[in-house]
């Protein structure tokens, strides 16, 4: 007796009998594709512009270093970017011993004008910006508008009025004639207010007032340490401006012993027609005068970069 065969039903789990399904094509997301020719060209152009900018900035300093290694004959007998006989140490010795070592006196004067002036100016600007940010008083916005208007006035325009005021006060041809004008910096006050808004929370100040701290102590013990990155940024700006200040000392000073290094080198350059040997002294002295600025930016760049981001995030 034969058993009837039942029809086989295809299971959905059977991969053999599963019906074929059409898979839709995947859309390309654009990831992992090679850069197109346009992107490569734009990158090449950007890098070329950056390279030209670096060369433009470094080329004068490179020429200055190469020229400082030459003697008088090689300065005029070789091209600007080719080395001659190496006389850098001889030139440095001549710079620091010429006229009884007057160049050392100029460097010390410049350090006084730059370091002392920059510290005082930064402290005044930070205090003023802190007051404009944290305190409310009558005429605050109008006074701050006057400060902002001061940023539009070039410093060279007010040099003559400053000279007349210094002359009336008997400060001409003294250190104070160069130091006092550097204390006022409208742009520094504006920048300090931005730093205060970005760094100093009002809750900390209110807690200190509840604890009985005076306003001077709150600023010196709480606000100023918090504002230190901004303070160092202002210090670098003021230090650079004071170190490169030329017209102010030219108007205010007559005594060679009070000259900053820039004005002293300018005097040497004016003597080249009478004594051509001084030309190498002026070049080597210029190289020495640039080094403190480079060292200051290298040593304080972490404060400077952190200070420039103040208020960027809320």
Domain range list for the chain: 57-92, 107-275
- At residue 210, the 3 state secondary structure works out as helix
State pLDDT tens for residues 260-286. Answer: 999 999 999 999 888 888 899 999 999
CA–CA distance, 72 with 151 (Å, rounded to integer): 44
Q: Where are the alpha helices (DSSP H) in the chain?
A: 37-68, 72-77, 88-97, 102-111, 117-134, 140-150, 159-169, 176-179, 186-199, 202-210, 215-218, 224-226, 228-243, 247-252, 261-270, 278-308
Position 268 scores a pLDDT of: 92
- How many CA atoms within 13 Å lie on the side-chain side of 252? 31
Give the least confident one: 170-174, 200-204, 307-311.
307-311
Q: Classify domain 107-275 by CATH number.
A: 1.10.3720.10
Q: Which of 241, 91, 102 is nearest to 178 (CA)?
A: 241
State pLDDT tens for residues 83-130. Answer: 878 888 999 999 999 988 999 999 999 999 999 999 999 999 999 999
Q: Which of 128, 151, 166 is nearest to 253 (CA)?
A: 166
Scan for tokens 């009478």, then name that residue: 274
* CA of residue 21 relative to chain centroid, distance: 66
Which residues have a Cβ under 8 Å from the Cβ of 127 and sit 6 or more positions away? Answer: 192, 219
Scan for tokens 């009837």, then name that residue: 4
pLDDT of 72 above 50: yes
Position 143 scores a pLDDT of: 92
Position 150 scores a pLDDT of: 87
- The pair of structure tokens assigned to 72 is 């008088």
* DSSP state string for 41-73: HHHHHHHHHHHHHHHHHHHHHHHHHHHHTS-HH
Tell me the percentage of the chain whose pLDDT exceeds 70. Answer: 85
Q: Over range 192-219, report the average pLDDT.
A: 89
- At residue 287, the 3 state secondary structure works out as helix
Instruction: Let me know: does 178 contact 113? Beta carbons within 8 Å.
Output: yes
Highest mean pLDDT among 6-15, 69-78, 99-108, 196-205 belongs to 99-108
Confidence of residue 75 (pLDDT cuts 50, 70, 90): confident
- Where b means 16+ CB within 10 Å and e means fewer, 238-274 reads bbebbbebeebbebbbeeeebbbbbbbbeebbeeeee
- The pair of structure tokens assigned to 268 is 């040497």
Scan for tokens 């090449």, then name that residue: 44
State pLDDT tens for residues 23-58. Answer: 555 554 545 555 577 787 888 888 899 999 988 988
């Amino acid at each position: 007796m034969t058993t009837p065969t039942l029809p086989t039903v295809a299971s959905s789990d059977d991969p053999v009998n599963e019906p074929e399904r059409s898979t839709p094509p995947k859309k390309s997301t654009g990831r992992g594709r090679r850069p197109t020719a346009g992107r490569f060209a734009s990158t090449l152009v950007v890098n070329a512009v950056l390279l030209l900018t670096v060369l433009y900035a470094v080329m004068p300093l490179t020429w200055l270093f190469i020229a400082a290694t030459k003697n008088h004959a090689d300065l005029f007998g070789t091209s600007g970017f080719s080395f001659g006989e190496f006389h850098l140490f001889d030139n440095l010795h001549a710079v620091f011993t010429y006229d009884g070592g007057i160049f050392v006196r100029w460097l010390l004067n410049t350090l006084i004008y730059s370091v002392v002036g920059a510290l005082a100016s930064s402290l005044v600007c930070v205090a003023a910006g802190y007051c404009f940010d944290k305190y409310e008083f009558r005429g605050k916005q109008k006074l701050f508008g006057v400060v902002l208007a001061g940023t539009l006035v070039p410093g060279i325009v007010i040099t003559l009025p400053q000279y007349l005021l210094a002359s009336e006060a008997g400060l001409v041809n003294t250190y104070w004639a160069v130091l006092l004008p550097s204390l006022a910096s409208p742009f520094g006050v504006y920048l300090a207010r931005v730093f205060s808004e970005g760094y100093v929370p009002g809750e900390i100040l209110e807690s200190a007032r509840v604890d009985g701290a005076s306003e001077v102590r709150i600023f010196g013990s709480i606000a100023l340490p918090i504002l230190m990155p901004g303070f160092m940024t202002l210090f670098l700006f003021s230090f650079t401006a004071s170190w490169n200040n030329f017209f102010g000392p030219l108007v205010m000073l007559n005594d060679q012993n009070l000259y900053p290094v820039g004005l002293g080198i300018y005097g040497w350059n004016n003597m080249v027609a009478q004594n051509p040997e001084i030309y190498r002294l002026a070049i080597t002295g210029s190289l020495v005068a640039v080094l403190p600025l480079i060292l200051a930016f290298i040593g304080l760049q972490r404060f400077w970069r952190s200070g420039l981001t103040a208020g960027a995030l809320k």
